[in-house]
Amino acid sequence: MNNINLKYVRILCSICIVLSVYMFIILSCGKSDSDMDDDYKYNPDKPVVLESFSPSEGGMATRLIISGSNLGNDPSKIKVYFNEKPAAIIGCDKGKALVVTPRQPGDTCTISVVVGKDSVTATEKFVYHISTTVTTLVGKKGTNELKSGSFAEATFMNPSTLTVDNEGNIFLSHWRGNYEIVMINQQNQTVTKMYSGDATGAPSTDAEGKVVMFPSDGGDVLYVLDPAAQWGVRRRQILHPSAEEQAAGMKDFKINWKHGFAACKLDGMIYTRSAGGQIVKFNPKTRVGQLVADGIDPDTDGFLSFDPLHPNMLYISYPSRHCIYTFDILTKEHKLFAGSKNTPGWKDGKADEALFNSPVQLVFDVNNNIVLADAGNHCIRQITPEGRVSTLIGIAGKAGYQDGNPDDALFNYPKGVAIDKDYNIYIADYNNNCIRKLAVE
């Protein structure tokens, strides 16, 4: 805790430095072209120089002063980036620019300034501090039924897996009771039971983030919810290829149990995996499916997510195997990525040394980290693109219910995770019967 307090003291001191010159910059900016001091206009015949910036660390929306020369005095003509993320420009004049750090640009940031055709990069790095907080979005611990209604009225019984569409609506596979499909409208703060009577697996949107699809646990059935059809639930089948299509090279498939869908941006198809070990893809418009691969770790459940930066790479979590594999849809290579197969436990570190306990749903965040519901460890894990595993929030091995920061928050067998366009993470806290919201800033 002492280190945390010292960190905040340093940040507060840096903020004081910013505030001391803030009024100077604001008063210097916003001038009309006729009022601008020619001495501080951007001169394309001179180099842009970046001398320093302050503070050197902070979180989202930290106000930062960049000092240099030939930065100009027109805020519309200067661009500042933290890694590849643009910062908001408040003002610039007299060799200084006041900017606001963007959200989640990365732990260590390279600051670059672009004025006109000139670009310059700072030699020092900006250290970005992530703030993580858990709150309960909807639901109540101790309830034992699904109840629709307002957020204040709604209750759950074992919410399982979920997804979020482009509008921020949450779609939930409600596992117990009558096995329901549930829509959570955050704008209206309502929970609505959309369908009941069939166990469903982890849902997914299509590649555009609009149409939502739930896999039925058994057989070829899926459920489709389309905003163009007022979210009416339609029961559909994954169709088998015709004799002509099979003669043209499409392979037939057999699905016994399926527990997740994943949309692939590489080919626009929806992928699923049968518990029997078959990976199957189907066209979301025609619903015609075909076999992709067979013998992929049969006789176990699997949950799927595609890597946004490498859309040929499908990541599969195996709860009963306690590990995560990759599957390359181009080469058909199935490879252990993180964890030790058939070895439950908890350990952070390198992916090949880390341990998991019944990992369930996984998704990718804006920085291409994997966010994973490590159900048996009662926590949410993160895996970086470099293969470093950490515990994002929750206390490994300790089941409970507590909102708050990473030091305090507790979960009880979280199974589902989803991320919206604002980078908020939603968690289906299975045994606490509620939906939690993890804000990472």
Element (H, E) at 289: strand 289-293
Which three-class secondary structure state does DSSP give residue 23? helix
Domains of the chain by range and CATH?
49-128 (2.60.40.10), 132-440 (2.120.10.30)
Mean of per-residue pLDDT scores for the chain: 91
- Give one DSSP letter per residue of 406-436, joined into a string: TTT-BBSSEEEEEE-TT--EEEEEGGGTEEE
* Alpha carbon distance 248, 241 (integer Å): 10
Element (H, E) at 335: strand 334-339
Q: Which amino acid is at 336?
A: L
What's residue 108's pLDDT? 93
What's residue 412's pLDDT? 98
Copy the structure tokens of residue 8: 């905040």
What's residue 176's pLDDT? 77
Long-range contacts of 391-397 (CB under 8 A, 24+ apart): 391/346, 391/348, 392/132, 392/438, 392/440, 393/132, 393/134, 393/438, 396/346, 397/346
Q: pLDDT below 70 — which residues of the chain?
A: 1-38
What's residue 152's pLDDT? 96
Who contacts 170 (Cβ-Cβ below 8 Å, separation ≥6)? 162, 163, 164, 183, 184, 186, 418, 426, 435
pTM of the model: 0.81
Tell me if 324 sits within 8 A of 333, measured CB to CB: no
What's residue 421's pLDDT? 87
> What does each C-alpha distance from 320 to 126, 297, 397 come to in angstroms?
41, 11, 17
